[in-house]
Amino acid sequence: MEKIIQQLEKTVAKIFHSESSGHDINHLKRVLNLALTIQKKEGGDKIVIGVSAFLHDIHRVMQKELGKFVSPKDSLPKIKEILETIEITEEQKEKILHCVEFHEEYGFSTEGKTVNDIETLVVQDADNLDAIGALGVARTFAYSGAHQIPMWIPEIPFDRKFYTEEKHDPSTIHHFYSKLFRLKENMNTATAKKMAENRHAYMENFLEEFFAEWNGEK
């Protein structure tokens, strides 16, 4: 596993060298580590999970380069090319493409979840864990800064019933309610559900403090 990641690292570092808005190579490394922690308890093909985690967000770089929405599915030709450089089975390659394609499914989006293979479920959980907690707070503000999204607009109600990555929330604080606070319940595996608890509570505390300070209460 380590050898394969080492082999991939150069290519991935090259692709992500200009990315600094929260989907950088360190996000990939954290998701890889989280995915392996979950895999240890929940099972699934370690190589498929590890490689998928490390390659899952190439669509984000393509999106930045093209200046328009790029879905994970659109990144599959590029992933296929990268997979040709490592020695794994054809079956594993197919599974990795599947994991990447479906890593951004949410129970609270209009389509809901459609997959149930353990590898994709673990990668989804790992990616979603890195979106919450202290890191979630940091990444959300970094992303908003890079995309000119305001910090908070109190006048706009929280009315986003269904979430989609295609449309930005009106403010960073809105994003906590449309996506981040929904992720704990959205975790697939028991291991990730447990890991999400602390991170979720941390964000609740953060927002409590944020609003108190915003309103001049302390």
3-state secondary structure of 29: helix
| Site map 7..46 versus Fe ion, x via CB under 5 A | ----------------------------------------
Buried/exposed 135-144: b ≥16 CB within 10 Å, e otherwise: bbbebbebbb
Which one-letter amino acid corresponds to residue 38? I
CA atoms within 13 A on the CB side of 50: 17
**Closer by beta carbon to Fe ion, 42 or else 104:** 104
Cβ-Cβ contacts under 8 Å for 212 (sequence gap 6 or more): 218
Which one-letter amino acid corresponds to residue 78? K
Shortest separation between residue 53's beta carbon and Fe ion, angstroms:
9
**Closer by beta carbon to Fe ion, 57 or else 169:** 57
- Contact indicator for 44, 115 with CB cutoff of 8 Å: no
Long-range contacts of 116-119, Cβ-Cβ distance < 8 Å, separation of 24 or more: 118/42, 118/43, 118/44, 119/44, 119/45, 119/48, 119/49, 119/52, 119/95
**Closer by beta carbon to Fe ion, 42 or else 57:** 57
**Closer by beta carbon to Fe ion, 24 or else 57:** 57
Q: Is 127 in the site for Fe ion (CB under 5 A)?
A: yes
Q: Is 57 in the site for Fe ion (CB under 5 A)?
A: yes
| Site map 85..104 versus Fe ion, x via CB under 5 A | -------------------x
Q: Is 125 in the site for Fe ion (CB under 5 A)?
A: no
Stretch that binds Fe ion, among 75-83, 117-125, 126-134, 206-214 (CB under 5 A): 126-134
**Closer by beta carbon to Fe ion, 33 or else 210:** 33
Residues that bind Fe ion (CB under 5 A): 57, 104, 127
